[in-house]
């Protein structure tokens, strides 16, 4: 019987009854070892340049232009909001100060400090507004203006300038230029009105002052003598006036209504030398925060083409990995 089983093993597979008999006859068969091969590496996706047709390019530029106009309008409205705050608070303060002879006059200098805070807030908003406004001006002068004059042809300088600004956004003007612009256009007149109103309030109420010494006596606030208050007001308003004149020559902004020969596609990183140190420090902090943000939202592509967000908190520490490797 053992010879029959051997012959069947060599000739072909065993049937169910034959397997039972073979097991009872203590027949040993060697099982093959299957080695699993590692999966093939994922195909690397190489970046292919996107070639747009003229119609597709025009459609993209139109939608991009509409988006930038919407952004600039949003920040323009925020500028008007800050100016309205300053005007409303100044009007309310003057109405309160002149409504009664017993109302104190020091609310006017306090309101001047509040308006100064509004000025710096509006200057910051103006810098953001100039980012979108400059992009709109680049598209208008480099693209749409050339479409209306076909004989001149469209150059690529405006496109390279716009692409560089989209990749690495920068403020188009310095903070001091923004403060000077908003000061000369709106806030200088508010400060002048507050200063004249304070002098008029101190002079008139409760009765017209008879002399300059009498005027200084009325200007006192608590233990602070009137001469100190008057001197502080002169220094404050004179400093504002000097600052408004000194920042006239700062013209880094592209402007809203500059003609084409006055508008140039210059680099956005150029700022006055006396503010370069402060801007360099802020730019380094901004780049550091941007790098951290890119690490938080870093993505990796899977074989299915989907994108999976990586959580840095789940990433193992290098020291922990080395310690586990040594233990093993």
How far is Cα 157 from Cα 221, in angstroms, rounded to an integer?
Answer: 61
Report yes or no: 268 and 170 within 8 Å, Cβ to Cβ.
yes
Mind listing the pLDDT tens digit for each residue in 183-227? 998 999 999 999 999 999 999 988 898 889 999 999 999 899 999
Mean pLDDT rounded to a whole number for the chain: 74
The secondary structure of 289-301 as a DSSP string is: HHHHHHHHT-EEE
Mind listing the pLDDT tens digit for each residue in 275-287? 445 455 666 666 6
Residue 240 has pLDDT above 60, yes or no: yes
How far is Cα 25 from Cα 216, in angstroms, rounded to an integer?
Answer: 126
Domain spans of the chain, in order of start: 54-255
Residue 107 has pLDDT above 70, yes or no: yes
Long-range contacts of range 261-266, CB-CB < 8 Å, 24 or more positions apart? 263/137, 263/141, 265/138, 265/142, 265/157, 265/158, 265/161
Alpha carbon 220 to its chain centroid, in Å, reads 45
Mind listing the pLDDT tens digit for each residue in 148-186? 876 666 667 888 888 888 888 888 888 898 999 999 989
Please report the beta strands in 173-323, taking only residues with DSSP state E, as ranges in sequence order. Answer: 299-301, 307-309
SS3 call for 224: strand
DSSP 8-state secondary structure symbol assigned to residue 286: H
CB atoms within 10 A of CB 130: 24
Confidence of residue 231 (pLDDT cuts 50, 70, 90): very high
Mind listing the pLDDT tens digit for each residue in 37-85? 666 665 555 556 677 788 888 888 889 989 989 988 888 888 889 999 9
The secondary structure of 16-64 as a DSSP string is: HHHHHHHHHTT---PPPPPPPPPPPPPPP-PPPPP---HHHHHHHHHHH
How far is Cα 184 from Cα 162, in angstroms, rounded to an integer?
Answer: 30
Residue with tokens 């047709």: 53
């Amino acid at each position: 019987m053992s010879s029959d089983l051997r012959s069947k093993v060599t000739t072909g597979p065993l049937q169910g009854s034959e397997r039972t008999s073979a097991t009872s006859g203590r027949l040993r068969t060697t099982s093959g070892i299957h080695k699993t091969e590692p999966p093939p590496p994922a195909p690397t996706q190489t970046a292919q340049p996107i070639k747009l047709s003229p119609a597709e390019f025009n459609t993209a530029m139109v939608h991009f232009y509409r988006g930038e106009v919407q952004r600039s309008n949003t920040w323009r409205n925020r500028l008007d909001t800050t100016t309205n705050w300053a005007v409303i608070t100044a009007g309310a303060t003057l109405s309160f100060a002149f409504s009664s002879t017993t109302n104190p006059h020091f609310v006017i200098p306090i309101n001047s400090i509040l308006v100064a805070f509004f000025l710096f807030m509006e200057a910051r908003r103006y810098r953001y507004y100039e980012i979108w406004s400059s992009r709109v001006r680049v598209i208008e002068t480099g693209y749409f203006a050339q479409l209306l004059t076909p004989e001149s042809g469209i150059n690529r300088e405006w496109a390279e300038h716009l692409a560089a600004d989209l990749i690495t956004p920068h403020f188009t003007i310095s903070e001091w230029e923004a403060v000077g612009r908003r000061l000369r256009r709106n806030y200088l007149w508010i400060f002048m009105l507050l200063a004249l109103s304070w002098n008029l309030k101190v002079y008139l109420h409760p009765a017209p002052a008879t002399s300059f010494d009498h005027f200084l006596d009325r200007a006192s606030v608590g233990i602070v003598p009137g001469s100190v208050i008057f001197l502080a007001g002169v220094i404050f308003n004179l400093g504002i006036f000097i600052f408004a004149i000194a920042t006239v020559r700062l013209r880094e902004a592209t402007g809203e209504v500059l003609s084409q020969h006055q508008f140039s596609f210059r680099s956005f990183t150029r700022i006055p030398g006396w503010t370069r140190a402060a801007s360099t420090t802020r730019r380094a902090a901004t780049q550091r925060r941007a790098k951290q943000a890119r690490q938080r939202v870093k993505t990796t592509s899977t074989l299915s083409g989907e994108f999976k967000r990586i959580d840095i908190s789940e990433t193992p520490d290098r020291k922990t990995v080395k310690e586990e490797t040594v233990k093993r």
